[in-house]
Amino acid sequence: MGRVVATEKRPNTAHEFHFWTAIDSPIGIGTIVRVDGESPVAGQVRRVYGVVVEGFSYTDLQTPIHDVLGHDGMPGSASLAATERAEIRLYTAHVLRQIPEEPLQPVPMGAVALASDEDVAVALRMDSYLQPGSNTGIPVGIYRAGAMEAPIYLDADFLLGPEAAHLNITGVSGLATKTSAVEWLLSSIFTHFPQQKGSVAAICFNVKGPDLLFLDQPGTIDDNDRAMYEKLGVEPAPFERVRYFAPYTAKGFTLNTLRSNEQLAHNLTPLTWGLNEVMQFAEVLLNKDDIDAKADAFIDFLQERVIGREFHETPLSTPHRVRSFAELEAFFRDLLRGMEDRGSGEHWRTHHVATIRKVRNRLSNISTRCAGLVTDEGTVSDLPFGSFQDRTVYVVDVASLEEDAQDLIFARVVSKLREHLERRDLGVSHVVVFVDELNKYAPGDGPETYVRKMLLDISERGRYLGLVLFSAQQFRSQVHRRVVGNAGTGLYGRMDMDELATPGYSVLSAATKTKLATLEKGQLMVRHPHFAQPIFVRFPRPAVLRGRDGAERFPQAGEIPLEVAVMRSLRQLDPSISLDWVKRTIVGHEEAAVLRARNVTVQTRPDRVQHFFEAQFRRIVPLDAPARPATVPIRALPSDDPYGF
């Protein structure tokens, strides 16, 4: 295929070498080659593996003007030349591996050949983790060169921990590369993650559009994709076990997701939290500039002494057990009225009334800002922390939520995952957390946010727990350095040249950058701890329905009346429920009460759904007529009233 060449001006080193090939050789940027040395060193003929990073082509012309003169300035006459000029294809390759590895010497002269399947495995050090019996390889794609195709594997120990962990993928938007790559890789992980390494599940935050909302629906793949699936040993099928979670809309009738079509409701679960769930993460929602030390202290007091327990103290008129935002509001109302009515001064338990009012305002505001997610009445419908299932994808759709609500969901879900993984009671031993739009959630600059701190924490310590971050963004250069820096594995789709011009890509050759800027769909550049140099691979289209196609095939449910929304929710529990029954049951009740009854029923999942649902109204809605207030007799006129009649 070629021969190594070295000159004084362009010598070979231990990490880089040059070789030439025939004009028509299939060598290109990213091709893996093998050099067979000609002279033995210490009794062993050296073998060097490299990946092509740069290519040069030139003729024996000294200056372009000679060619112009030779053709009388007429480019068309070039085809009349009797002979084609001597031309060279000169390539520069970076060393992937040398055998023997010691002594490390400059690459010797020798013949250059295209790397075979076995060569690729050795060159990328995959041979160390593809051993029978201790195979921890996770297929990431196929490396192609000429007619040769070789599967490329990542090491599960370096992808999901404990040796290294985390994966970051970057690429321009609109090519579906990032999402597709993650979907494919999750399929591959679920298929190939070794049983002896434990169980694995994935939580995907769907942050935009319908990208991740149809992972359980089959998509369209072609024969090329099928061939790749076969070669990589992965079934070309949608995910078997997927559960979706989404909060309600602010109105509360339907779930706030593009996957609200009734046909797909079977694995869609509401995500609603109450006061208890939110107060732990109040920091996420409260503006630091607004909440000073005094307010912070009062919030701490509420969390420790008031919320979730019986509390009665002057100037409160009655005992309070605060379990929901509604009860918290009642507590505040009673407290402030008591302070005013009893003239107990401007302080209560050292907290100034202004601070109390401020905290009341900010906390009460949460259920409004996060309407649909945070409920006043405290109904909780959460991810199944503690009973996560192996090889299951949990998708949390936050695409339609306000930024505050998104932050709250990230913070709480990840914190809960961490808590459970620390206690080893999550249900699985490894969780992949996929977060897109890292530019937004963990930017390199801007104020410190709770979400960014949390992502940093996963990046730096998650691998010991089995908490693995798969992150994606358009501009890697604008993401916090420690988040991307801790990602053991990096995937790069098609990149913008402006992004490639940033210092983070200075280690890449100009040709590699050009290739990155022109990558087709389905192509990636892969960096992995075992690979000395980045490698280009192709991966198959995910066998799941694309978000856009899914949104067309399963249109989002439109605005529906309350009784229809209730019927659809309850039918998930009891298919016999009819619209008429729902109408009869809720007639005369307030909308909030109906929704509360529905939420409690859905959360409880009772055996006798209709009975349970009706019971909610009996308990909440007083059936007895209110007692008639005692009649206050009109005071009798004095007998000596001169004006009396």
Partner 1 sequence: MTHVVSDDGRTLTPDVRRTSVPSLGATFNDVRRELATRLQGTAPVTSPLPLELLSRGVQDAPSLRDVEVLDANGMGVYAVADAATPPRFAAFLDGAQWSLALWAGGIPVVHGTVAAVIRQREDRRMTTWRKPVVRRAVYAPLTLLPLTWQDALSAMDLEVVDTLATRKPESGHPFELQEIAYQSVLAARETIEKALAEEWCESTTLDLFVDGGIAGSRKVARSTNVVGVVKSHQRLYASAAHLPMLMGLQSGERSSVVRVSEGKRTPVASWYLRLRDASGHDPFWGLVRVEVALSDTSASRALLERADEVSRWILAEALPLSVPDARWDKMVYGIRDCEEFLRAIQ
Whichever of 78 and 637 has its CB closer to partner 1, that residue is 78
Nearer residue to partner 1 within complex by CB, 109 or 227? 109
Q: Which of 11, 40, 58, 61 binds partner 1 (CB under 8 A)?
A: 61
Considering the complex, what minimum distance in angstroms separates the CB of residue 145 from partner 1? 24
Largest CA distance in the chain: 140
Q: Which is nearer to partner 1, 14 or 61 (CB)?
A: 61
Q: Nearer Cβ to partner 1, position 67 or 496?
A: 67
Closer of 80 and 587 to partner 1 (Cβ): 80
The answer to whether the CB of 183 falls within 8 A of the CB of 395 is no
Min dist CB 110 to partner 1, Å, is 18
Closest approach of partner 1 to the CB of residue 71, in Å: 7
Compute the distance between CA of residue 600 and CA of residue 618 in angstroms, rounded to an integer.
14
Nearer to partner 1, 66 or 305 (CB): 66
Q: Residues 6 or more apart from 158 whose CB is under 8 A from it?
A: 164, 165, 488, 489, 528, 529, 530
Angle at 95 between CA 91 and CA 100, to 5 degrees: 130
Instruction: Spell out the long-range contacts of 552-561 with Cβ–Cβ below 8 A and sequence spacing 24 or more.
Output: 553/217, 554/214, 554/217, 554/259, 554/261, 554/263, 554/264, 555/261, 556/257, 556/258, 556/259, 556/260, 556/261, 557/254, 557/260, 557/261, 557/262, 559/253, 559/254, 560/253, 560/254, 561/253
Nearer to partner 1 by Cβ, of 69 and 237: the residue is 69
CB of 21 to partner 1, least distance (A): 14
Q: Which residue, 39 or 63, has its beta carbon nearer to partner 1?
A: 63
| Closest C-alpha among 240, 244, 246, 239 to residue 266 | 244
Q: Pick from 8, 9, 39, 62: which binds partner 1 (CB under 8 A)?
A: 62
Options 12-20, 67-75, 93-101, 543-551: segment touching partner 1 (CB under 8 A):
67-75
Whose CA is closest to 410, among 146, 204, 566? 204
Cα dihedral 536, 431, 480, 176 sign: positive
Of 14, 41, 69, 104, the residue at the interface with partner 1 (CB under 8 A) is 69
> CB 589: neighbour CB atoms within 10 A?
17
Query: Site size for partner 1, by CB under 8 A?
Result: 19
d(CA 344, CA 285): 32
Query: Is the four-CA dihedral 160, 166, 171, 173 of positive or negative sign?
Result: positive
Quote the tokens at residue 182: 């993650």
- Assess 39 for contact with partner 1 (CB under 8 A): no
- Residue 311: phi, psi to the nearest 5? -140, 125
**Residues 70-129, interacting with partner 1 (CB under 8 A):** 70-71, 77-78, 80-86
In the complex, what is the shortest distance from the CB of residue 84 to partner 1, in angstroms, rounded to a whole number? 5
Kindly identify the residues of this chain, within the stretch 383-422, that bind partner 1 according to CB under 8 A: none
State how far the Cα of 196 lies from the Cα of 466, in Å rounded to an integer. Answer: 14
* Nearest distance, CB of residue 64 and partner 1, angstroms: 11
From 61-69, 131-139, 212-220, 497-505, give the range in contact with partner 1 by CB under 8 A: 61-69
Residues whose CB is less than 8 angstroms from the CB of residue 103 and which lie 6 or more positions away in sequence, other chains included:
41, 42
Least CB distance to partner 1 at residue 87 (A)? 9
Beta carbon of residue 83, minimum distance to partner 1 (angstroms, whole number): 5
The answer to whether 67 contacts partner 1 (rule: CB under 8 A) is: yes
Closest to partner 1 by CB, 83 vs 631, is: 83
Where on the chain is the footprint of partner 1 (CB under 8 A)?
23, 60-63, 66-67, 69-71, 77-78, 80-86
